[in-house]
């Protein structure tokens, strides 16, 4: 059985993952409106991945006979000045999510809830990847910031990013 503190924190994390999805969908739509279809694709894939993260947590709560409580999604920004600004905000946001995941892991450890601790390892590893990906995109965007052809090439490269379902869902669905 989950402790009330961990149960509440996981529900809060579900909301945060859905907010993240909403943020990345907004970034995707802004990039597409500006003609950056590859960047839009990159953020669209992020949108899908964040929904997976929420679904993994919802499945976990259900597997532990704990109620999923969905909360309202707060407003997100709808416009960014540059592609670089989008990726900088992405890294900043992913660092906040990393702290939230670390908080969940701390609560699970304090509760001696080994099942939850084990489940959270995937999220801890995922956050390392998310932050690295955002840093890589910042470097790429900085590298071509003043070069229209370079930005064009980067946009074309990002169009090739494809979504793959998060591994914890592959065995559930």
CA dihedral 37, 161, 21, 99 (to 10 degrees): -130
- What's the domain count of the chain? 1
Task: Report yes or no on 136 lying in a domain.
Answer: yes
DSSP secondary structure code for residue 32 in this structure: H
Which residues have CB under 8 Å from 136's CB, separation 6+? none
- In terms of residue numbers, what domain contains 71? 4-165
Task: Report yes or no on 75 lying in a domain.
Answer: yes
pTM over 0.95: no
The reported pLDDT for the residue numbered 57 is 98
What gap in Å lies between CA 90 and CA 130, rounded to an integer?
Answer: 9
Q: Which residue has the tokens 């592609």?
A: 83
pLDDT range class, residue 149, cuts 50, 70, 90: confident
Task: Report yes or no on 170 lying in a domain.
Answer: no
Q: Which residue has the tokens 């998060």?
A: 166
What is the per-residue pLDDT across 86-115, written as a single tens digit (0 to 9) for each?
999 999 999 999 999 999 999 999 999 999
Helix axes 37-63, 83-111, angle to 10 degrees: 10
Task: Report yes or no on 156 lying in a domain.
Answer: yes
HSE-up of residue 137 (Cα within 13 Å, Cβ side)? 26
Task: Report yes or no on 59 lying in a domain.
Answer: yes
Task: Report yes or no on 92 lying in a domain.
Answer: yes
CATH classification at residue 155: 1.20.1260.10
pLDDT range class, residue 154, cuts 50, 70, 90: confident
Task: Report yes or no on 171 lying in a domain.
Answer: no
Task: Report yes or no on 111 lying in a domain.
Answer: yes
């Amino acid at each position: 059985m989950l402790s009330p503190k961990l149960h509440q924190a996981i529900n809060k994390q579900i909301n945060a993952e859905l907010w993240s999805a909403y943020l990345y969908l907004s970034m995707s739509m802004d990039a597409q409106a500006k003609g950056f279809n590859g960047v839009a694709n990159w953020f669209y894939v992020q949108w899908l991945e964040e929904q997976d993260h929420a679904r993994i947590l919802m499945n976990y709560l259900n597997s532990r006979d704990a109620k999923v409580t969905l909360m309202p999604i707060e407003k997100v920004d709808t416009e960014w000045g540059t592609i670089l600004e989008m990726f900088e905000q992405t890294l900043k946001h992913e660092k906040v999510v990393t702290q939230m995941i670390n908080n969940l892991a701390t609560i699970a450890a304090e509760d001696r809830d080994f099942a939850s601790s084990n489940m959270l390892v995937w999220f801890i590893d995922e956050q390392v990847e998310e932050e690295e990906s955002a840093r890589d995109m910042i470097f790429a965007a900085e590298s071509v910031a003043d070069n229209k052809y370079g930005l064009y090439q980067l946009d074309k490269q990002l169009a090739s990013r494809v979504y793959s379902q998060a591994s914890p869902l592959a065995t559930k669905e």
